[in-house]
Amino acid sequence: MEPVYRTIIGVARVVFAAEGLKFTVKGDEHIPATGGAVIAVNHTGYMDFTYAGLPVRTVKRYIRFMAKKEVFDNKISGPIMRALRHIPVDRAAGAESYRAAVDDLRGGELVGVYPEATISRSFELKEFKSGAARMAIEAGVPIIPIVIWGAQRVWTKGHPKRLGRTNTPISIAVGEPIQPFEPASELTAKLHATMESMLHELQQGYEHPAGAYWVPARLGGGAPTLEEANRMDAEEAEAKAARRAQR
């Protein structure tokens, strides 16, 4: 029993209903009822993690998400994140969080990760980091891919929040478990290819207005291409590094 997590989920469902969000979930039968697994989720918006938790409730389970340390340092979100037993990630020193995630996986937990590490401004899949694959291999657990589409319309990087009643449709697909194998680079490549195929399939049943900021350039939207988005990310990272150097 996890009263805090259950309460947070209850509040989230009330918020989702108030926003008029229309969820379509398929493949939730792939969530294991017991045992550890890495839950790999694509990253298009700030609310992804709240939506990714919906399929696992079919078997009454919870996800321990790996999230940046700054969220835990916040006086409001920090106590909540710790109560939900999420895992803080210090990007400057990630060994401790990696070890905590592997320990949780071996203990039978579902650990949620964003293989892209940051939000994709293009809404296409960015290059994946190898952490999800390495954790699955070391812990001896499968990777469960989850793809979400429509979350970027609610709140994403560089655009205003739309947290009112928007009646936004959000599609979620859960893929078949991917059993771990070495090397991690090949497992990462398989995960990326699987999630890309799932994403394209999910997008086929979704309406994409021409020129809309949340629609990928590939589908006629106004989002930057993956290459343009990567360049923007690199420029932002350089600017942050410069600011840190000046302190």
- Centre a 10 Å sphere on the Cβ of residue 3 and count the other Cβ atoms it contains: 8
pLDDT in tens, 17-28: 999 999 999 999
In this prediction, residues 226-233 reach a mean pLDDT of 96
Choice among 75-79, 157-161, 182-186 with the minimum mean pLDDT: 75-79
pLDDT in tens, 182-229: 999 999 999 999 999 999 999 998 999 999 999 999 999 999 999 999
- Centre a 10 Å sphere on the Cβ of residue 233 and count the other Cβ atoms it contains: 18
- Mean of per-residue pLDDT scores for the chain: 95
pLDDT in tens, 81-98: 999 999 999 877 778 999
Percent of the chain with pLDDT over 90: 86
The predicted model scores a pTM of 0.95
Q: Which of these, 174, 146, 187, 142, lies nearest to 35 by C-alpha position?
A: 142
* d(C-alpha 133, C-alpha 38), whole Å: 9
- SS3 string, 131-194, reads HHHHHHHHHCCCEEEEEEECHHHCCCCCCCCCCCCCCCEEEEEECCCECCCCCHHHHHHHHHHH
The pLDDT score that the predictor gives to residue 91 is 74
